[in-house]
Structure 1
């Protein structure tokens, strides 16, 4: 696998052809060195969207996530989302769930994360991340319909404290179907409350993101 910079029709298309967690991990391991340059070339804005939506939720609800609270970045990658978290004024402990050693070796150099968990996020399985532990669980561009599917999402919810918040960014194409249904199911079970959701253009290369914020009950 070459590590040269690819266009969307290269790097992203190859990523989208991966349809299981193990192969996705292998792909990230092989292309970690060009991950950030590829995304920046595609004007990737998911990390910024994550915290813009969180701010809107706070303004609409009057609830404020403590800026010195404990956070976890699901699929931390090379730390781009962690950098946006810090830019948004969060000063507390930030942990990372990131299975790729090569991706995390880049993130680690940024000095953002305290503890790294290296588990793969798998359907209907718990990771080694402690439950009921985080004021904010956030994830940018990780959940999809190929590997980290909607069946993995309850694990993200498990990590949040009661009263904690989840701020998630996905491709809008994944929302209208399994993810919307998964959130509806969690609401019906009175596990979470969907507090804010919106589609935002400019996710990357002209695509549309879906951002949603949940309050864990």
Structure 2
């Protein structure tokens, strides 16, 4: 079962079961597809900081949404983030691999849902980061308010996703959140070479 098979899942339970099944082969599979999500996330954040003047403290507190096997956490550490990094990851099998890397302080096993809060504390994080999680499946655009809830006032939310889904409600959802003055869009761009022949969408929000 390749990573793209997740696109055929129909329910959050099916999606979770898929990742439970492919956990052992996940990193090998995505690396074979030249997956660049974590690297793009850090690159975009640095570009945003240089362009806008915002600054995410490297010794601050971060949460990795959909931490998986810890690839994004590894990129955070490589980029000089020395503070607390927590994980939101519902797959036990995926997280068991991540836990071995010694990156994460606390793991939350909730799934993102558009109609239910997770157990993650409100207004707790300087950086909320998510790579390759948001889509038209369980982590839809309706989950954006939940990840914003986790950020401190003035905190930064950095999301990398498959650009195929950007026009599937994310563009309008981000625009609405900005109109409501809940966030300010600090960065929004697309990049070739997400994985395989896919294009990435990277957008960065600051919580108001």
What TM-score does the superposition give when structure 2 sets the normalisation length?
0.98
- The number of residue pairs the alignment matches comes to 208
Other structure's SS at 1:59 match: helix
Aligned to 1:5: none
1:36 equivalent in alignment to 2:46: no
d(CA) in 1 for partners of 2:165 and 2:79?
A: 26
1:11 equivalent in alignment to 2:8: no
Aligned to 2:100: 109
Alpha-carbon deviation of 1:205? Answer: 0.5
d(CA) in 1 for partners of 2:10 and 2:206?
A: 30
Residue of structure 1 aligned with 2:40, choices 27, 49, 74: 49
Other structure's SS at 2:2 match: helix
Q: Is contact 1:98–1:117 with CA below 8 Å preserved after alignment?
A: yes
Q: Superposition RMSD on alpha carbons, in Å?
A: 0.8
d(CA) in 1 for partners of 2:190 and 2:110?
A: 30
Q: What does 1:67-106 align with in structure 2 at a 5 Å threshold?
A: 67-106=58-97
1:134 equivalent in alignment to 2:97: no
Other structure's SS at 1:123 match: coil
Alpha-carbon deviation of 1:13? Answer: 3.4
- Decide whether aligned partners of structure 1 residues 16 and 177 sit closer, same or farther in structure 2, where only a CA change above 3 A counts: closer
Per-residue CA shift, 1:63-111, capped at 9, x if unaligned?
Answer: 2100000000000000000000111110000000000000000000000
Q: Which of structure 1's runs of 4+ aligned residues deviate more than 4 A?
A: none
Aligned to 2:145: 154
Identify unmatched segments of 5+ residues in structure 2. Answer: none
Q: Is contact 2:3–2:26 with CA below 8 Å preserved after alignment?
A: no
d(CA) in 2 for partners of 1:159 and 1:194?
A: 17
Per-residue CA shift, 1:171-215, capped at 9, x if unaligned?
Answer: 111112300111011101100000101100000002100001101
1:200 equivalent in alignment to 2:191: yes
Alpha-carbon deviation of 1:12? Answer: 2.8
What TM-score does the superposition give when structure 1 sets the normalisation length?
0.94
